[in-house]
Amino acid sequence: MSRFVQLLAVFAAFLSCNSAEIPSYLTTCSRSDPNFQKCCLESGRRAIPQLAKGDKRLKLRVLEPLAIPEIRIDTSGNLKLTLTDVILYGLGNMQLRKMNFDLEKQTISLDMHNDNIQVIGDYTIDGRILILPITGNGKINVTMVNGAIGYSFQYDIIQKNGVEYIKALEPDVTLVSERTYYKLDNLFNGDKRLGEEMNKFLNENHKEMSKELNPSITETISAIATEIVENVLNVIPYHELVRP
């Protein structure tokens, strides 16, 4: 192989690692379109269920369901809860309600809704929850009904090899659910009566429980959303995502 052909091969490989053909399910929008925001919203709605299936071109793993090795929850030293071998269901059913792509302020915000998000796995818990002591290990099921998720971030336009890309900055994420149900098996070394009473207490006080646990769940969802955003923005140039 000649030196020239070798250089061409290296250059082609370099480009393939730093850019990607836009998948057919990602519809790009024109900044000059008077319905630019509507176009972005419709494109996002079409893309979410496809992104949840995973996409090797964008280095996205399968999100429905999503396997998470571990989630640690530590509420100011009062409660330690560790979830392992977690399976998260529901991300593929995320509904994009609102989207705003502000080209002048360089911000993107998403308002999403999910009828049902379910977290299933193994748990170990020790400490105090609200006013009661709690301890145990076993299977756990946390189900959030009618969840509202807000995800927004500012961005910069950066240059990579002479091409402009969007670089997302630190996101702001909120999670609120209308109702959350808790089921923890084998509490208090398998004491059935105490376990049933504690599960009843947790569900009767689900709003207070959510205040304790939601920050860690929100952090997990934020990491997943950020992974998607960054993987898409890292490989698709700005001028291809937002046409003139």
Q: What is the pLDDT of residue 13?
A: 40
- CB proximity list for 55: less than 8 A, separation 6 or greater: 23
Residue 1 belongs to a domain: no
Number of domains in the chain: 1
Domain presence at residue 5: no
pLDDT at residue 11 tops 70: no
> Quick check: is 170 in a domain?
yes
Distance CA 210, CA 177 (A): 8
Q: Maximum CA pair distance of the chain?
A: 79
pLDDT, averaged across the chain: 88
Assess if residue 71 is contained within a domain. Answer: yes
Judge whether residue 175 has pLDDT over 60: yes
The answer to the question of residue 97 being in a domain is yes
Q: Tens digit of pLDDT for each residue in 104-138?
A: 999 999 999 999 999 999 999 999 888 899 999 99
Alpha helices (runs of H) in 19-135, residue ranges in sequence order? 36-51
- Look at residue 67 in the predicted model and tell me its pLDDT: 92
Q: How confident is the model at residue 74 (pLDDT cuts 50, 70, 90)?
A: confident
In this prediction, residue 181 has a pLDDT band, given cuts at 50, 70 and 90, of very high
Higher pLDDT, 223 or 36: 36
Domain that holds residue 189: 12-243
* pTM, full prediction: 0.82
Does any domain span residue 16? yes
CATH number at residue 209: 3.15.10.30
The answer to whether residue 231 is domain-embedded is yes
The pLDDT, as a whole number, for residue 76 is 65
- Tell whether the model's pLDDT for residue 82 goes beyond 90: yes
Is there a domain that residue 134 lies in?
A: yes
203-206 — which CB contacts under 8 Å span 24+ positions? Answer: 205/130, 206/179, 206/180, 206/181, 206/182
Nearby residues of 129 by Cβ (< 8 Å), 6 or more positions away? 78, 79, 202, 209, 212
